[in-house]
Amino acid sequence: KAIAYLFPSGLFDKRARPMMKHPTEIFPEQRKIQWGEDGRPLHFLFYTGKQSYYSLMHETYEKFLNAQKHQDQLIAQGLPHQKEKKNLVGSRWLTKIELEEMLLEKLSDDDYSRFILLLQKLMTLPCGDTEEKYVQKFTREVPVQLQKVVIEPLKYDERGVAFSTGEGARKTANATAVVYDNGTGKITVNGIDILHYFPVLQDREQLLFPFQFLDRVGKHDMVCTVSGGGRSAQAGAIRLASAKALRSFVTEREVEFMRQAGLLTLDPRVKERKKPGQEGARRKFTWKKR
């Protein structure tokens, strides 16, 4: 006890214990033995090779037939009620890997797509509660996180004019834009007027796109700085920057409309890398017969 007091060691501390995952996370589930003591298989579909997949298809198809019978009865009685649309929004189907984990069997792409098509067909029919619960086992929630962008309030400079800044990028071009209120529609890029900086009509159209969309063409002044990229990339970067800056001037509904028009999304398309054994990203070397 004296030694433990005089030379304290952290080896026995609770925080020094090894942090290990639960064994179920490390070792994947294995299939239990499929046949009994006499050698006869336990499942009736064992000799198909993919017993759990085929039994799943069997069950789903049974439910589908029941739903069809139910629908026929409804039609025979009177007006069939309309199926309410759900699952549009927050859920997605199981991926192939998740389905494989569930069934503990390898699946082919074709099998997986057949199963998903069958589930989709089942969804179109009016089905009761039990069938809905069955289908929900094969759906996963998609977290909906879209409206989390914070719109900055307007700032005021020395003259008392409201302005706001925005940043944008496209391919390798980076741009920052400062949009001033009570303007005449003058746009300056890197100290040069847009008519001289962008001689091509398409680029100027892209710069004016956000303003034209919001019907504010002659009402704002803009000063931007841009670097990197080519002519079209710089135009796209400034377009994104000005759209982001205009969010502070505009109602939330119009911001939503801008987003649906594709003005506020960063374009993820970049130059694809060149692969070894090929001349470019996609082009292969000339094929020579001998």
Partner 1 sequence: LRRLTQVRWSRYNPSFLEPEVNKELYQKPQEQLSEEEKERMELKAVRPIKAAPSSVSSSVFSDPMISKFTNMMMKGGNKVLARSLMAQTLETLKRKQLEKYHKAPEDEKEAIECNPYVIFHQALKNCQPIIGLSSITKGGKTYQVPVPLTDNRKRFLAMKWLITECRENKNRRTMLPEKLSQELLQAFNNEGPIIKKKHVLHKMAEANRAYAHFRWW
The amino acid at residue 34 is: Q
Give me the 96-135 binding string for partner 1, x by CB under 8 A, dash otherwise: x------------x--xx--xx------------------
From the list 2-10, 37-45, 157-165, 203-211, the region that binds partner 1 by CB under 8 A is: 203-211
Kindly write down the DSSP assignment for every residue of 233-290, as one continuous string: HHHHHHHHHHHHHHGGGS-HHHHHHHHHTTSSS-----PPPPPTTBSSSSPBPPP---
User: In sequence order, what are the residues at sequence separation of 6 or more whose Cβ sits closer than 8 angstroms to the Cβ of residue 278?
Assistant: 284, 285
Q: Residue 109 Cβ, how far from partner 1 at the closest point, in Å?
A: 4
260 interacts with partner 1 by CB under 8 A: yes
Q: Residue 85 Cβ, how far from partner 1 at the closest point, in Å?
A: 7
Pick the closer one to partner 1 by CB: 50 or 259. Answer: 259
Pick the closer one to partner 1 by CB: 155 or 274. Answer: 274
Pick the closer one to partner 1 by CB: 73 or 212. Answer: 212
Residues making up the chain, counted from first to last:
290
Pick the closer one to partner 1 by CB: 63 or 239. Answer: 239
- Binding-site size, partner 1 (CB under 8 A): 40
201, 276, 285, 290: residue in contact with partner 1 (rule CB under 8 A): 201
Task: Return the bridge partners of 173, or none.
Answer: 170
User: In sequence order, what are the residues at sequence separation of 6 or more whose Cβ sits closer than 8 angstroms to the Cβ of residue 2?
Assistant: none
263 interacts with partner 1 by CB under 8 A: yes
87 interacts with partner 1 by CB under 8 A: no
Pick the closer one to partner 1 by CB: 163 or 229. Answer: 229
Pick the closer one to partner 1 by CB: 163 or 166. Answer: 166
User: In sequence order, what are the residues at sequence separation of 6 or more whose Cβ sits closer than 8 angstroms to the Cβ of residue 209?
Assistant: 239, 263
Q: Residue 26 Cβ, how far from partner 1 at the closest point, in Å?
A: 28
280 interacts with partner 1 by CB under 8 A: no
For 12, list phi and psi in degrees, rounded to 5: -100, 10
Per-residue exposure over 5-40, b if at least 16 CB sit within 10 Å of its own CB, e if not: eeeeeeeeeeeeeeeeeeeeeeeeeeeeeeeeeeee
Q: Residue 124 Cβ, how far from partner 1 at the closest point, in Å?
A: 14
Residue 2 has which token pair? 């004296």
Pick the closer one to partner 1 by CB: 2 or 88. Answer: 88
Q: Residue 33 Cβ, how far from partner 1 at the closest point, in Å?
A: 31
Contact status, residue 236 vs residue 206, Cβ threshold 8 Å? yes
269 interacts with partner 1 by CB under 8 A: yes
Residue 273 has which token pair? 């890398």
CA proximity to 222, closest of 210, 233, 230: 210
Q: Residue 260 Cβ, how far from partner 1 at the closest point, in Å?
A: 5
CA proximity to 137, closest of 157, 115, 153: 115
* Sites of contact with partner 1 (CB under 8 A): 85, 88-90, 92, 96, 109, 112-113, 116-117, 142, 144, 146, 200-202, 205-206, 208-209, 212-213, 232, 235-236, 240, 256-257, 259-263, 265-270
